[in-house]
């Protein structure tokens, strides 16, 4: 018996292991949504904005390590996904986006709600497909999932013409993958491994960089073992926090613009960098001309396009981080670097940047303190999802995860609005985990409409809103680099209590430092989504900070306690 293209779509998704998807219907996908009713195995979560659906699917993918799926109609529905697609692309997140498209005979005619999604999404997807016949559906879905999750993961778009959803086909059996020329590498070349091992054996001041690729390849354990055996400290990127436990003595915490001062000092003084699955983003390197000047560089990445793109490597190992480390491990002897680690610990002692005790005790609520309280109450075990801004950097500094897959944030794209929907997706993926969204008042207002989705679906997320009445991160830049000329950063905020109430979510307003732990407990005990509205000090800055383009060790440091307000 023949099946419609829409039926083949759902059956193919189920075959790929999909059990939940996010989206909003519309004219060009009504046939697909109609057929979905026949597959009760699939849970559909109706978002209020396609951007949120995209970010929910992304949060789901990052928390579950499965492929996320979001679906939208053509035209405005599809273009509303674009920011979410870009976020997934920049952070190598495996999400399959399905968009309705006008009937194939209308393509290119400016038909109602026609948008060239192939053209629009080309630079921000790993791959995209246009389906014009039901015969293509099974094959396309199979390949889309394979591409999204294999090698360096990424978003894949399937643009699905309406007539192909309706028309019938007898091609729905599990197809073979036929992707000529697409062979993600796993193992690096043996002669290069030997060169890398030699550099590691010779080095006196080595450092490991753990990038997002460590989490993607599930190599946290291998990295930790390798670091312990070779006695190499580990610096992490924003996206790999938790890939080795933050409390591990070899952990240097986060590198880069708002990274630990001693971490950046270590990088600048290292004689060897072993960079694992990271892409040397400008937020990480600072001035490239003076970056890690004395260090030989070994770059491990599954994507050959990343090699020598920003930082020239002495040895490049193209392969999966986990496989490469497994191969490299037996080639490198146990080592000690006592002098080097003593030096790093000296730098560590000299900085009180991340010392909560040294925070100003001026009666104001401050964000580091709040995040530290959430960390203490949840024992560092929660899955934290952040929005973008100052609170994101403070969360990275003060919520120190012990486990991988515990810190989800929009890194490469840095997209405000990500926190709430991604937290919803993460909680759907990991219902057994405590999920906290840490958001700013600016970013929260970009996607707060989807609070209702969390309420309706009974999704237990706890939201810590850092309400400083500013677009804080931009304000900080204006304070530091534009002589405090505040342009378009002051926020007049709505009554968030009424917003929470309107959506049916729990709420508490917090104004004094002593109220924080009880509020966190209140959120944990109250069923359903809860919004904690922290009225924090308005003009605080994130320290340390490497100004854009400055040398990595030229950080603006936190003023001494007596100089603080
Ligand atoms: C979609 C989007 N628009 C604009 C920006 C630029 N931007 C980066 S941080 C920021 C301010 C964030 O303010 P808020 O959400 O209140 O968080 P805070 O920095 O105060 O913690 C802005 C406007 C962005 N990153 N993303």
| Model confidence at 359: pLDDT above 80 | no
Q: Is the peptide bond before 544 cis (omega within 30 degrees of 0)?
A: yes
Atom of ligand 1 nearest to the CA of 468: 20
Half-sphere exposure of 383 (CA within 13 A, CB side): 26
The answer to pTM > 0.85 is yes
- Lining ligand 1 with CB less than 6 A are 387-391, 414-417, 440-443, 466, 468, 470-474
Q: What is the pLDDT of residue 306?
A: 97
In the reported structure, the alpha carbon of residue 474 is separated from the centroid of ligand 1 by a whole-number distance in angstroms of 7
Atom of ligand 1 nearest to the CA of 473: 19
| Model confidence at 168: pLDDT above 80 | yes
In the reported structure, the alpha carbon of residue 104 is separated from the centroid of ligand 1 by a whole-number distance in angstroms of 40
Q: What is the pLDDT of residue 565?
A: 53
Q: What is the pLDDT of residue 196?
A: 98
Q: With contact defined as beta carbons under 8 Å apart, do 58 and 88 qualify?
A: yes
In the reported structure, the alpha carbon of residue 386 is separated from the centroid of ligand 1 by a whole-number distance in angstroms of 12
Instruction: Report the pLDDT averaged over residues 482-496.
Output: 98
DSSP 9-72: HHHHHHHTT--EEEE---GGGHHHHHHHTT-TTSEEEE-SSHHHHHHHHHHHHHHHSS-EEEEE
Confidence of residue 561 (pLDDT cuts 50, 70, 90): low
Nearest to 394 by CA among 533, 540, 529: 540
Atom of ligand 1 nearest to the CA of 367: 21
| Model confidence at 109: pLDDT above 80 | yes
Q: Tell me the pLDDT tens digit for each residue of 305-327.
A: 999 999 999 999 999 999 999 99
Active site residue 473: yes
Q: With contact defined as beta carbons under 8 Å apart, do 453 and 424 qualify?
A: yes
Q: CB neighbours of 249 closer than 8 A, spacing ≥ 6?
A: none
- Specify the range with the lowest mean pLDDT, choosing from 174-183, 275-284, 400-409: 174-183
Catalytic residue among 7, 11, 50, 306: 50
The torsion angle over the Cα atoms of residues 310, 314, 317 and 322, rounded to 10 degrees, is: -90
Instruction: Report the pLDDT averaged over residues 189-194.
Output: 97
């Amino acid at each position: 018996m023949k099946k419609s293209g829409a039926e083949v779509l759902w059956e193919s998704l189920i075959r790929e292991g999909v059990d939940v998807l996010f989206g909003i219907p519309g004219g060009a996908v009504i046939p697909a949504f109609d057929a979905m009713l026949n597959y009760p195995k699939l849970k559909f979560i109706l978002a209020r904005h396609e951007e949120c659906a995209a970010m929910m699917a992304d949060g789901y993918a990052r928390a579950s390590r499965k492929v996320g799926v979001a679906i939208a109609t053509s035209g405005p529905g599809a273009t509303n996904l674009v920011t979410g697609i870009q976020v997934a692309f920049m952070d190598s997140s495996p999400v399959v986006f399905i968009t309705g498209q006008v009937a194939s005979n209308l393509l290119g005619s400016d038909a109602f709600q026609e948008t060239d999604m192939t053209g629009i999404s080309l630079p921000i997807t790993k791959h995209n497909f246009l389906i014009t016949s039901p015969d293509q559906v099974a094959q396309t879905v199979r390949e889309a999932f394979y591409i999204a999750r294999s090698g360096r993961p990424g978003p894949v778009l399937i643009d699905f013409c309406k007539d192909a959803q309706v028309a019938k086909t007898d091609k729905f059996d599990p197809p073979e993958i036929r992707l000529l020329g697409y062979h993600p590498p796993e193992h690096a070349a043996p002669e290069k491994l030997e060169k890398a091992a030699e550099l590691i054996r010779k080095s006196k001041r080595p450092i490991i960089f753990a990038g997002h690729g460590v989490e993607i390849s599930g190599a946290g354990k291998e990295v930790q073992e390798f670091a312990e055996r070779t006695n190499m400290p580990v610096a992490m990127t924003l996206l790999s926090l938790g890939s080795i436990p933050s409390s591990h003595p070899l952990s240097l915490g986060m590198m880069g613009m708002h990274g630990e001062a001693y971490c950046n000092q270590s990088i600048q003084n290292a004689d060897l960098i072993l960079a694992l699955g990271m892409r040397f983003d400008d937020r990480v390197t600072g001035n490239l001309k003076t970056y890690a000047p004395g260090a030989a560089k070994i770059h491990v990445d599954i994507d050959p396009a990343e090699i020598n793109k920003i930082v020239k490597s002495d040895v490049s190992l193209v392969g999966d981080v986990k496989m490469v480390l497994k191969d490299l491990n037996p080639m490198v002897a146990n080592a000690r670097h006592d002098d080097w680690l003593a030096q790093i610990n000296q730098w560590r002692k000299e900085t009180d940047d991340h010392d909560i005790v040294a925070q100003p005790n001026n009666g104001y609520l401050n964000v580091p303190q709040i995040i530290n309280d959430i960390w203490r109450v949840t024992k560092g075990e929660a899955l934290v999802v952040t929005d973008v801004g100052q609170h994101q950097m403070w969360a990275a500094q003060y919520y120190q995860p012990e486990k991988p897959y515990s810190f989800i944030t929009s890194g490469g794209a840095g997209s405000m609005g990500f926190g709430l929907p991604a937290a919803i997706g993460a909680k759907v993926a990991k219902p057994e985990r405590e999920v906290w969204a840490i958001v700013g008042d600016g970013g929260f207002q970009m996607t707060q409409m989807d609070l209702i989705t969390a309420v309706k679906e009974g999704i237990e997320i706890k939201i810590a809103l850092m309400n400083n009445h500013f677009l804080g991160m931009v304000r900080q830049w204006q304070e530091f680099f534009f002589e405090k000329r505040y342009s378009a950063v002051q926020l007049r905020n709505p009554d968030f209590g009424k917003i929470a109430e309107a959506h049916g979510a729990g709420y508490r307003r917090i104004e004094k430092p002593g109220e924080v732990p009880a509020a966190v407990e209140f959120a944990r005990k109250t069923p359903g989504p809860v919004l904690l509205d922290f009225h924090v000090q308005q003009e605080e800055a994130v320290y340390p900070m490497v100004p854009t383009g400055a040398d990595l060790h030229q950080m603006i440091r936190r003023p001494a306690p007596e100089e603080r307000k």
